[in-house]
Amino acid sequence: MAWTLVVPLKPLDRAKSRLADAVGAVPRSALALAFALDTVAAALACAAVDDVVVVTGDRRAAAELAALGARTVPEPPGGRGLNAALAHGAHTVRAHRPGAAVATLNADLPALRTPELGRVLDSAAEFPRAFLADAAGIGTTLLAAAPGIPLAPAFEGRSRARHRASGAREILLPDVDSVRRDVDTGADLRAALALGVGPWTAAVAGGRPEAGVPRAAGGAVTD
Q: CA separation (Å) from 144 to 72, 90, 112?
A: 19, 11, 17
Type of residue at 200 = W
Q: Are 104 and 7 in contact (CB under 8 A)?
A: yes
72 assigned ligand-binding residue:
no
> How many Cβ atoms sit within 10 Å of the Cβ of residue 197?
29
How do strand 101-105 and strand 140-145 relate by DSSP bridges?
A: antiparallel
140 assigned ligand-binding residue:
yes
DSSP 99: T
- Ramachandran angles phi, psi of 23, nearest 5°: -110, 0
Show Cβ contacts of residue 41 under 8 Å, excluding neighbours closer than 6 positions: 68, 198, 200, 220
Residue ranges of the annotated binding site for phosphoenolpyruvate are: 140, 159
Residue ranges of the annotated binding site are: 140, 159
